[in-house]
Chains A and B, each alone.
Chain A
Amino acid sequence: MKIGVFICHCGENIGRTVDCPRVAKACEWLPGVEVSLDYKYMCSDPGQNMIKDEIRKKKLDAIVVGSCSPHMHEKTFRKAAVDAGINPFLVEIANLREHCSWVHDDIDSATDKAIDLVRMAVEKVKRNVPLTTIEVPVTKRTLVIGGGIAGIQAALDVANAGYEVVLVEKEPSIGGHMSQLSETFPTLDCSQCILTPRMVEVYQHPRIKLMTYSEVEKVEGFIGNFTVTIRKKARHIDEDKCTGCGLCITKCPTKKKAFNSFEEDLAYRPAVYVPFPQAVPNIPVIDETVCMYYKNGKCGMCVKVCGREAIDFNQQDKIVTEEIGAIIVATGYKLYKIDKKPDDSPIKGYGEYGYGKFKDVVDGLQFERIASASGPTSGEFKRPSDGKEPKKIVFIQCVGSRDESKGFSYCSKICCMYTAKHAMLYKHKVHDGEAYVFYMDIRSGGKMYDEFVRRAIEEDGVKYIRGRVSRIFEKDGKYIVRGEDTIAGMPVEIDADMVVLATAMIAQQDASELAQTIGIPYDKYGFYNEAHPKLRPIESTTGGVFLAGACQSPKDIPESVAMASAAAAKALVLFGSDKLEREPVVAYVNESLCAGCFACKKVCPYGAVEVKELKDRNGVVYREVAYVNTGLCQGCGTCTATCPSKSVELAGFNNEEIFAQIAAL
């Protein structure tokens, strides 16, 4: 076997601490090395041509490039090798930059190490086996998980490009948090008015299969070829028959047993309900936990009034499987509920603010409902306790955000803006009212954002106080908000009628479970991790799974929408070709040696190991052995280390290759 060694100086980057000519000279004498050269920039065109020429001239079988990390230029050099007629997997990279020149100072020892690294690579490449890339087909269907604004946008973009979409939403209606909002900053246009047309478009789109009140249970497969299992929870109403007339809702006698979660628990709902009037689909759900029928088998009022016989108390959850090529995760966020934390909860909450104790201490989303024209107060500012108009409201920002001791260290990003909006909306309706805002910093980066906050302060007269609130207590029918004005350097006390807490945006409660179902990593807060914080912010590290919206980190509407469109574009990139190429780094079994203990099958994270029956010439099974489905195998090699008889090997990293590297140490 003839091997070529090429040592790159990377300008000064390697050359400064590694004596490249000395490395090249030393490697000439390694067994099997035909030619060993160094050059200023191996990745440049002249450098690559040098490699190609040497391969052709010396009829090389394999090459080793001593350069930067294989994560940088392995592809480049593999391509050069292919151009000159060698298999791309007969190329090995010795990492002389990140693992040698950049981390060491002493030229002598760094050069010695560089020679060792090249020698290890040479020994490995001698054992490398030519491999061919694997082609897998692409199912051109997208699964969007979450039907908030991000999910809606992503689904519409993909569907409008001509591909089928399955949109799964766990609530009975799509719309997400945006449908709860009153007006949106910085334009103060009505949230429902801009969202509802999109929701209807999703519902009517011929290429979107909408599955509300459904949850993803299992994701199997890999990029381009996922099989997704979805649980369609029982609505107890036949979706095909229901016309959405709402008679069952108005006649339901169980009116005040359950809080309306869409109204953030500020109102009640019947046992049979749609979350809100504009819900899509406009099909009610029967809540088993409060419905009289499930308690004592009586009532059945809805059955009597439904002219379409759509009520079905015996309906069961349905399990649906879908073949999917790309997954867009857009599961959004939830608000940090700061009351009644159980003692074992990692977040301790803000008991001193009296949330959950004082009825008029509300959080941001509750205030949105109070401010909303479709809300429980029809848009009149009435406080929850007695329905009176509050004359003095205190807004507190950063409740749970930027607070490591009681909440989370990150900034929730949208609270500065929505608090300004809340105060502004209040001042617009209650002209004689007073609005105070306690803030830490005002973070209003964004188009027209800072202007918006200035307007709240300057035109609408919202009073901003820089400082934290230490305590809220009740006195003479008022809520005394005691805090500190850090600019004036003195304590302040405000006797408010109502307090609004801008609580932190946090990950959905079941975010980590879903992440494990899909197989994507998440951070310590439960937000999903992007593949690269700067250059791959949309992709998860799992191929074919993309992220959109606040499930990745706190985001406002325009950012969520932009990210959703980007995720859709990423899915469409995937659908641009009929076949996907993947690296042939997959495991394979030596069937004659396999004893069939199936330890490999047990450890495989992808279920890629299957049972294969070996039959004799009469068709009688004489042994069962393991078999690797290369379509499912992702090439981790856990099976190879588990196999006691070493009957399974990982292509590209087989044991012979690794032993050779160890032997060359």
Chain B
Amino acid sequence: MEELRKHAKELLENKTVAAILAYVEAGPQRTKPAIITKPEDVSKMVFNEYCLNNLAVYLTKARIKNLAKQNGTVMKLGIVAKPCDIHAVVALIQESQLKREDVYIIGMNCHGVVKDFGMEFSGETLASKCVPCETHKPLYYDIVLGEEKQTPAVSDEVLAKMQAIEKMTYEERFEYFKKEFDKCIKCYACRAACPLCYCQRCITDKTIPRWIESSPHSRGNFAWNVVRAFHLSGRCIGCGECERACPMDIPLSLLNRRMTETAKEAFAYVSGRSIETPTLVGSYDVKDSDELFM
């Protein structure tokens, strides 16, 4: 922790970065995101198992981008990032939303975070996204900090649930998801929390023509959730922020995880792992499977 604060202070003092997106304490077993711009504020910075937010979501916001523009020069933005958050940064670079040189990644070694604030960190309270996680060390970084610790091994509940759904009949599946989507109140918190939902105007907000019915009805809810999952297919880095943000507890990771598995199985692609790799949607291989087509 001291190491992190010391390094952050240096970065701000020697003007390497204009600001640092970081976590600060917000009560017992709770943190909140903060933008640190003054060296004296670094003492508030923390990093622990309660750093749930994916701060990469702020990198594409115009107001935060503008912080980096000072007196006509563009400075870097610093970000305190877990390895999974760095996947989002990589995906943003792949999708031209960010340049590698615009961001200073303070990569943190990570052994998992809790499901929700106020829980004692243990195998039982380990966030579901951390269960299948393979990257405990940052892949891209300007510096790596934090200690390496063992992640508690627990069974993959999301995967089990997914497999259970796949065993259902079509009708049961349709009913299951219809019921889940029915809860949707179209607050779009999932969209706001997603680091990869950076569109200027979301497809669901387009009215000429209207792409997705925005009325509070299960038909429109169904369409929204299908399109949201589809637009993240092959792109989702699995930070699970959408599900955490959802006030109605719709199990969005069940969808995202399924599409991530498809990307892996069909195209051997995992999103956000390499800046150089072309994005999955946006490239093609002549040898892609042709099974689907008569």
> Which residues on A sit within 8 Å (CB–CB) of B282?
599, 602-603, 642
Find residues 162-219 in chain B having any chain A CB closer than 8 Å to their own CB: 198-203, 206, 208-209, 211
Cα–Cα distance between A644 and B231 once the two chains are bound (Å): 7
Q: Is A594 an interface residue (CB 8 A)?
A: yes
> Which residues on A sit within 8 Å (CB–CB) of B201?
593, 645, 647
Q: Which of A596, A597, A647, A659 is the one whose CB lies under 8 Å from B209?
A: A659
Q: Is A296 an interface residue (CB 8 A)?
A: no
> Which residues on A sit within 8 Å (CB–CB) of B209?
655-656, 659-660
SS of B interface (majority): loop
Q: Is B283 an interface residue (CB 8 A)?
A: yes
Given A642-B282, A644-B199, A644-B231, A597 and B211 contact (CB-CB distance below 8 Å): no
> Which residues on B sit within 8 Å (CB–CB) of A22?
none
Cβ–Cβ contact B211 & A602, under 8 A: no
Cβ–Cβ contact A599 & B203, under 8 A: no
Interface 0/1 of B205-248, CB less than 8 Å to A: 01011010000000000000000000100000000000000000
Cβ–Cβ contact B281 & A595, under 8 A: no
Q: Which of A642, A647, A656, A659 is the one whose CB lies under 8 Å from B281?
A: A642
Q: How far is the CB of A650 from chain B (nearest CB, A)?
A: 14
Cβ–Cβ contact B203 & A645, under 8 A: yes
Given A624-B96, A646-B203, A655-B209, A595 and B278 contact (CB-CB distance below 8 Å): no
Given A595-B198, A597-B97, A646 and B211 contact (CB-CB distance below 8 Å): yes
Q: How far is the CB of A53 from chain B (nearest CB, A)?
A: 34
Interface 0/1 of A600-630, CB less than 8 Å to B: 0011000000000000000000001000000
Q: Is B102 an interface residue (CB 8 A)?
A: no
Cβ–Cβ contact B211 & A593, under 8 A: no
Find residues 228-283 in chain B having any chain A CB closer than 8 Å to their own CB: 231, 278-279, 281-283
Cβ–Cβ contact A644 & B96, under 8 A: no
Cα–Cα distance between A597 and B231 once the two chains are bound (Å): 13
Q: Which of A593, A602, A656 is the one whose CB lies under 8 Å from B279?
A: A602
Q: How far is the CB of B85 from chain A (nearest CB, A)?
A: 19
Q: Is B25 an interface residue (CB 8 A)?
A: no
> Which residues on B sit within 8 Å (CB–CB) of A187?
none
Q: Is B116 an interface residue (CB 8 A)?
A: no
Given A645-B200, A645-B203, A602 and B97 contact (CB-CB distance below 8 Å): no
Residue of B whose beta carbon sits closest to that of A654: B209
Cα–Cα distance between A603 and B283 once the two chains are bound (Å): 6
Q: How far is the CB of B229 from chain A (nearest CB, A)?
A: 12
> Which residues on A sit within 8 Å (CB–CB) of B206?
645-646
> Which residues on B sit within 8 Å (CB–CB) of A644?
199, 203, 231
Cα–Cα distance between A656 and B208 once the two chains are bound (Å): 7
Q: How far is the CB of B241 from chain A (nearest CB, A)?
A: 18
Cα–Cα distance between A624 and B65 once the two chains are bound (Å): 14
Cα–Cα distance between A665 and B278 once the two chains are bound (Å): 38
B97, B208, B231, B282: most-surrounded residue (chain A CB, <10 A): B282
Q: How far is the CB of A615 from chain B (nearest CB, A)?
A: 14
Cα–Cα distance between A598 and B279 once the two chains are bound (Å): 11
Q: Is A592 an interface residue (CB 8 A)?
A: yes
Cα–Cα distance between A101 and B279 once the two chains are bound (Å): 46
Cα–Cα distance between A592 and B200 once the two chains are bound (Å): 8
Q: Which of B200, B202, B231, B279 is the one whose CB lies under 8 Å from A594?
A: B200
Cβ–Cβ contact B279 & A599, under 8 A: yes
> Which residues on B sit within 8 Å (CB–CB) of A655?
209, 211
Q: How far is the CB of A371 from chain B (nearest CB, A)?
A: 44
Q: Which of B96, B200, B231, B283 is the one whose CB lies under 8 Å from A647?
A: B200
Cα–Cα distance between A578 and B95 once the two chains are bound (Å): 41
Cα–Cα distance between A234 and B199 once the two chains are bound (Å): 50
Interface 0/1 of A450-462, CB less than 8 Å to B: 0000000000000
> Which residues on B sit within 8 Å (CB–CB) of A595?
97, 198-200
Residue of A whose beta carbon sits closest to that of B96: A598
Cβ–Cβ contact B96 & A596, under 8 A: yes
Given A602-B283, A603-B282, A597 and B203 contact (CB-CB distance below 8 Å): no
> Which residues on A sit within 8 Å (CB–CB) of B281?
599, 642
Q: How far is the CB of A614 from chain B (nearest CB, A)?
A: 11
Cα–Cα distance between A433 and B206 once the two chains are bound (Å): 85
> Which residues on A sit within 8 Å (CB–CB) of B211?
646, 655
> Which residues on B sit within 8 Å (CB–CB) of A642?
281-282
Cβ–Cβ contact B202 & A645, under 8 A: yes
Cα–Cα distance between A597 and B281 once the two chains are bound (Å): 11
> Which residues on A sit within 8 Å (CB–CB) of B199?
593, 595, 597, 644-645
Q: Which of B97, B200, B231 is the one whose CB lies under 8 Å from A593?
A: B200
Q: How far is the CB of A383 from chain B (nearest CB, A)?
A: 46
> Which residues on A sit within 8 Å (CB–CB) of B202?
645
Residue of B whose beta carbon sits closest to that of A626: B96
Cα–Cα distance between A646 and B210 once the two chains are bound (Å): 11
Q: How far is the CB of B121 from chain A (nearest CB, A)?
A: 36
Q: Which of B95, B198, B200, B208 is the one whose CB lies under 8 Å from A599?
A: B95
Interface 0/1 of A649-665, CB less than 8 Å to B: 00000011001100000
Find residues 86-112 in chain B having any chain A CB closer than 8 Å to their own CB: 95-97
Cα–Cα distance between A647 and B282 once the two chains are bound (Å): 16
Q: How far is the CB of B213 from chain A (nearest CB, A)?
A: 12
Cβ–Cβ contact B95 & A598, under 8 A: yes
Cα–Cα distance between A659 and B212 once the two chains are bound (Å): 11
Cβ–Cβ contact A596 & B97, under 8 A: yes
Q: How far is the CB of B285 from chain A (nearest CB, A)?
A: 13
Q: How far is the CB of A93 from chain B (nearest CB, A)?
A: 22
Cα–Cα distance between A543 and B7 once the two chains are bound (Å): 61
Residue of A whose beta carbon sits closest to that of B201: A593
A597, A603, A660: most-surrounded residue (chain B CB, <10 A): A597
Cα–Cα distance between A439 and B91 once the two chains are bound (Å): 64
Residue of A whose beta carbon sits closest to that of B202: A645
> Which residues on B sit within 8 Å (CB–CB) of A659?
209
Q: How far is the CB of A620 from chain B (nearest CB, A)?
A: 8
Residue of A whose beta carbon sits closest to that of B95: A597
> Which residues on A sit within 8 Å (CB–CB) of B208?
656
Q: How far is the CB of A608 from chain B (nearest CB, A)?
A: 15
Interface 0/1 of B114-143, CB less than 8 Å to A: 000000000000000000000000000000
Cα–Cα distance between A171 and B282 once the two chains are bound (Å): 38
Q: How far is the CB of A339 from chain B (nearest CB, A)?
A: 30
Q: How far is the CB of A56 from chain B (nearest CB, A)?
A: 32
Cα–Cα distance between A655 and B206 once the two chains are bound (Å): 12
> Which residues on A sit within 8 Å (CB–CB) of B203?
644-646
Q: How far is the CB of A663 from chain B (nearest CB, A)?
A: 9
Q: How far is the CB of B228 from chain A (nearest CB, A)?
A: 10
Q: How far is the CB of B170 from chain A (nearest CB, A)?
A: 23
> Which residues on B sit within 8 Å (CB–CB) of A593?
199-201
Residue of A whose beta carbon sits closest to that of B210: A659
> Which residues on B sit within 8 Å (CB–CB) of A597?
95-97, 198-199
Q: How far is the CB of A35 from chain B (nearest CB, A)?
A: 27
> Which residues on B sit within 8 Å (CB–CB) of A599?
95, 279, 281-282
Q: How far is the CB of A129 from chain B (nearest CB, A)?
A: 13
> Which residues on B sit within 8 Å (CB–CB) of A598?
95-96
Q: How far is the CB of B279 from chain A (nearest CB, A)?
A: 7
Residue of B whose beta carbon sits closest to that of A658: B209
> Which residues on B sit within 8 Å (CB–CB) of A596?
96-97
Q: How far is the CB of B96 from chain A (nearest CB, A)?
A: 5
Interface 0/1 of A45-85, CB less than 8 Å to B: 00000000000000000000000000000000000000000
A-B contact pairs, 24 of them (CB 8 A): A593-B199, A595-B199, A595-B200, A596-B96, A597-B95, A597-B97, A597-B198, A597-B199, A598-B95, A599-B282, A602-B279, A602-B282, A602-B283, A624-B96, A645-B200, A645-B201, A645-B203, A646-B203, A646-B211, A647-B201, A655-B209, A655-B211, A656-B209, A660-B209
Q: A624-B96, A645-B200 are in contact. List 13 more A-B contacts (CB 8 A).
A: A593-B201, A595-B97, A598-B95, A599-B95, A602-B278, A642-B281, A642-B282, A645-B203, A645-B206, A646-B203, A646-B206, A656-B209, A660-B209
Q: Considering the complex of A and B, which 5 residue pairs feature the smallest CB-CB distances, nearest first?
A: A602-B282, A645-B199, A656-B209, A597-B95, A659-B209
Binding site for B on A (CB under 8 A): 592-599, 602-603, 624, 642, 644-647, 655-656, 659-660
